[in-house]
């Protein structure tokens, strides 16, 4: 039995169906429209370990989207295309086709395959610490450090866990810098107003 998430063709309501047979009929719970799902047998097969692909012999079997002469063993969980055992790529427990892998890498949705990672904690820390040499630029870098630390608190980090202490240090230091600038501005304005 397979659970399948489909959309009603009439009202676009998402519907979960349990497929026990290759052909299932049901009614939409929202608009009561008749729904019929015909599935290829590849949807019901257990996933076989990677191989070069089994040749397609019978008429009723589904074929691979990329290799029409190969028997489909599993549908892609990204786009729904049927895949032979050669095209099936298992990643984080999902079966994906090469096109979905490529799109996921380009869009940054597959974090496990990213080649580079921006270390926002280091950027925030540098923006808070390095400008202390030339204190006058901290009026610009302190808010930037605070923004980066808060904005990217939950951004994916490196492969090895680093902790959040850099973000915390950048937030505290940039907040102190901004408080210092605020006190300086109040004193400067106070001196000019009361003269």
Residue-range domain boundaries for the chain: 1-39, 46-115, 120-193
Query: Can you give the pLDDT at residue 7?
Result: 83
DSSP helix/strand/coil, 5: strand
Cα-based torsion angle of the residue sequence 176, 181, 187, 192 in order, rounded to the nearest 10 degrees: -170
Q: Does the reported pTM lie above 0.85?
A: no
Q: What is the CATH number of domain 46-115?
A: 3.30.40
H or E segment to which residue 176 belongs = helix 165-193
Query: Can you give the pLDDT at residue 45?
Result: 64
Q: Burial level of 12, CB count in 10 A (0-12/13-18/19+)?
A: exposed
Query: Can you give the pLDDT at residue 168?
Result: 92
Cα–Cα dist 113/96, whole Å = 13
**For residue 76, which of 93, 51, 97 has the smallest C-alpha distance?**
97
Alpha-carbon 13 to chain mean position: 24
Give pLDDT tens digits along the chain (195 positions). Answer: 567 777 888 888 888 877 777 777 888 888 888 888 777 666 666 655 555 556 656 667 788 888 888 888 888 888 888 888 888 888 878 888 988 888 887 777 776 666 677 888 888 999 998 888 888 888 899 999 999 999 998 887 766 677 889 899 999 999 999 999 999 888 888 776 655
Query: Can you give the pLDDT at residue 53?
Result: 58
């Amino acid at each position: 039995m397979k659970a399948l998430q489909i959309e009603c063709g009439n009202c676009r309501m998402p519907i979960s169906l349990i497929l026990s047979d290759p052909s299932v009929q049901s009614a939409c719970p929202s608009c009561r429209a008749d729904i019929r799902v015909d599935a290829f047998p590849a949807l019901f097969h257990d996933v076989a370990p990677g191989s070069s692909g089994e040749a397609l012999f019978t008429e009723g079997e589904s074929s691979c989207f990329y290799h029409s002469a190969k028997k489909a063993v599993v549908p892609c969980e990204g786009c729904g295309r049927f895949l032979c055992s050669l095209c099936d790529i298992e990643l984080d427990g999902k079966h994906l086709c090469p096109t979905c892998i490529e799109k996921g890498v380009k869009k940054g949705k597959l974090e496990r395959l990213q080649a580079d990672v921006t270390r926002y904690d280091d950027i925030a820390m540098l923006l808070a610490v390095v400008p202390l040499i030339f204190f006058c630029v901290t009026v610009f870098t302190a808010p930037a450090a605070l923004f980066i630390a808060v904005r990217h608190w939950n951004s994916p980090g490196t492969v090895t866990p680093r902790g959040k202490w850099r973000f915390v240090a950048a937030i505290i230091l940039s907040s102190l810098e901004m408080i210092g600038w605020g006190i300086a501005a109040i004193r400067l304005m106070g001196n000019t107003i009361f003269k």
